[in-house]
Amino acid sequence: MVLVVLALIASGCGGDDGGALEPVAFSDGKDAEPVLRDSVPPPSTTIAAQPEPVETTTTTSTLPPLGEHETWVAVATPAIGRVELFDAPNGNPVAFEFGVFNPTFWDTALALRIVEGTGADEWVKVALPVRPNHSEAWIRTEGFDTFSHNVHAEVILSSRTVRVFEGSEVIAETEAVIGKPSTPTPLGDFYVNELLPRSNPDGAFGPWILSLSAFSEALDTFGGGLPVIAIHGTNNPGLIGGAHSNGCIRIPNDVVTFLAENVPLGAPVRISA
């Protein structure tokens, strides 16, 4: 998915155990090309009708086959600030390089995909939007609103395509721009953690950014922050089908608008070779 540059440096965020929100950036902005809408054919697109921490744990989540799972999501309420993370239910606190905070840098409610358990459970294991990629931990569900859905997506780098499903039904399919060889799009199972409208829909990122719980594995920083991966629009549809980004996934603006309106938070996104 596509790394996007947002010139956002977050102010310090409270937290009893120290630390502050680390600046983050979507890294696609610097290599965005000029608008060439009138000189290129439209891309191939289909949209269907509608505690002191003691350790860090990192695991790789595995999604069931597409179309055969329900996704549970935990969204933090205003009662949650810095999220307490554990290595097991009633276990030891764990920490990562930077904390997990609510609200996020973009002042939206923190969304976490539940990978073990359901919204009815007191404790659930969640995927985290932190480095290293595929990090997970246990949280208490108190202070979180939970819901489930069956929307999910796959990004296939070899064919440079994105497909979005509701259950087993394809609701959107399109060609995409993926990361160039020096800054490849990372592989693995991630999820949509934020839906961010853009004030300039004709800009390099198009009208919407679907931020993912993924970070570039080729860049340590970008634009003064952590290099977040996202799916977003583009002002240069002529590049669609190529490998030109800093890791993000660029798709046509009409498709990203459809996804912003139909893909819920927590939706799993599997990126495969």
pLDDT at 62: 52
**Residues ≥6 apart with Cβ < 8 Å to 88:** 138
pLDDT at 19: 37
Residue 63 has pLDDT above 50, yes or no: yes
Confidence of residue 68 (pLDDT cuts 50, 70, 90): low
* Cβ pair 126, 112 in contact under 8 A: yes
Residue type, 222: F
Query: What's the whole-number mean pLDDT along residues 12-20?
Result: 30
* Cβ pair 1, 229 in contact under 8 A: yes
Query: What's the whole-number mean pLDDT along residues 239-256?
Result: 97
The domain made up of 2-47+151-272 has a fold known as: L,D-transpeptidase catalytic domain-like (2.40.440)
Domain(s) of CATH 2.40.440.10: residues in the chain: 2-47+151-272
Residue 124 has pLDDT above 70, yes or no: yes
Q: Please tell me the distance from the alpha carbon of residue 150 to that of residue 50, in angstroms, as a whole number.
A: 14
**pLDDT (tens digit, 9 = 90+) per residue, 187-229?**
999 999 999 999 999 999 999 999 999 999 999 998 888 899 9
Confidence of residue 260 (pLDDT cuts 50, 70, 90): very high
Q: Where are the beta strands (DSSP E) in the chain?
A: 2-3, 24-26, 45-47, 71-76, 111-116, 123-127, 136-140, 144-149, 151-156, 161-166, 169-175, 178-179, 188-197, 208-215, 226-232, 243-245, 249-250, 268-272
Query: What's the whole-number mean pLDDT along residues 258-265?
Result: 98
Share of residues in the chain with pLDDT > 90 (%): 71
Question: What pTM was estimated for this model as a whole?
Answer: 0.83
Q: In terms of Cα–Cα distance, which of 96, 57, 113 is closest to 269?
A: 113
Domain(s) of CATH 2.30.30.40: residues in the chain: 71-149
Domain 71-149: CATH superfamily, name plus number: SH3 Domains (2.30.30.40)
Top-confidence residue, 152 or 8: 152
pLDDT at 98: 87
Query: What's the whole-number mean pLDDT along residues 110-120?
Result: 97
Confidence of residue 31 (pLDDT cuts 50, 70, 90): very low
Q: How many CB atoms lie within 10 A of CB 263?
A: 24
Query: What's the whole-number mean pLDDT along residues 173-182?
Result: 98
Query: What's the whole-number mean pLDDT along residues 121-148?
Result: 97
Q: Please tell me the distance from the alpha carbon of residue 127 to that of residue 61, in angstroms, as a whole number.
A: 8
Confidence of residue 137 (pLDDT cuts 50, 70, 90): very high
pLDDT at 28: 76
Residue 130 structure tokens: 């932190």
Which range among 28-37, 62-71, 126-135 shows the weakest confidence by mean pLDDT?
Answer: 28-37
pLDDT at 27: 66
Residue 170 has pLDDT above 70, yes or no: yes
Residue 172 has pLDDT above 70, yes or no: yes
- Per-residue b or e along 151-173, where b marks 16 or more CB atoms closer than 10 Å to that residue's CB: bbbbbebeebbbbbbbeeebbbb
Q: Please tell me the distance from the alpha carbon of residue 271 to that of residue 235, in angstroms, as a whole number.
A: 23
